[in-house]
Structures are given as structure tokens and as C-alpha cells.
Amino acid sequence: MKRLAETSMIAALLTLTLGGAALAQDRILISSDWGDVTAELADNAAAHALAAMLPLKIEMDDHLRQEKTGDLPAALPAASRQREFSAGTLGLWSSGDFVIYYRDGRVPQPGIVILGEVQGDVSIFDRAGKVTVKIERE
């Protein structure tokens, strides 16, 4: 019984240690002439594929005064979608359309794939016009 408890404790510690390292690798830096923010990537196939593409430079347009959108160099895999988003959500509209939402809102069907969440002040993107962002691992 003591041996089983020790083995379980070691397994739990390894899980926490390895899990913490994996989370640290899932952070990205989004930088532009308007400022920099960090973001935590979601745990889904699309976000993992995005991380594998990094570093990237994307020219982004303003859309509906709620988001910046730009084309990825390749399509990302499908993942579950949702219609609601909040300021700071990183999303995928079509398989290659990267979105940074700087206001709360809702999109029509089929919804967006959640790629992550900005940890900084996403309001730096709340301006009319185009911006080029660089996305890299933090």
C-alpha cells in the first residue's frame, strides 16, 4: 500500500512538472507598431498547428470595429466552434483567417475556433486601419 502511494505521488509530481512546462511553451507574443501583448494558446489542434507555424508576420485589417483579421500562410485543422467571444479572444474564422477580437461580441454560424486568449491590454488594436503583427513564441 505504501509503495502504491509513493508511486501515485511521483506520478502526480511528474504530471504537474511536465504540465507546467507545456503551459509555458503555449504562450505567444504578439507585437506591432501599436504595442505588444502576450497570449495563452488554447489546447486544441488548431492552436497547436498555429504554434508550429511560428514565427509569423500577418497584415491585419480592421473589421466591424471589433476585430483585426488577417490571412495565415496555411489552413489550420478544424476544431470545435463557438459563437460568443470576448475582448482578447484569438480566433479562427475560416481555416486560414486569424482574428484578434478587441471587443466583446457574437458571430454568426458556424462560429469561430478559439485559438487563445490575450493576457495583456488588447485595446491597443482598437483603432481603424491596418496593422502588421508579428507572432512568436514567448
How many domains would you assign to the chain? 1
CATH code assigned at 41: 2.40.100.20
pTM of the model: 0.81
What average pLDDT does this structure show over 79-83? 96
Phi, psi of 4 (to 5 degrees): -65, -40
Whole-angstrom distance, CA of residue 128 vs CA of residue 10: 53
Cα-based angle 123, 31, 19 (whole degrees, multiple of 5):
95
Domain that holds residue 46: 27-137
Whole-angstrom distance, CA of residue 113 vs CA of residue 77: 10
- pLDDT tens digit string along 4-46? 344 333 333 333 334 433 444 599 999 999 999 999 999 999 9
The pLDDT value recorded for residue 17 is 39
Residue 14 lies in a domain: no
The pLDDT value recorded for residue 25 is 53
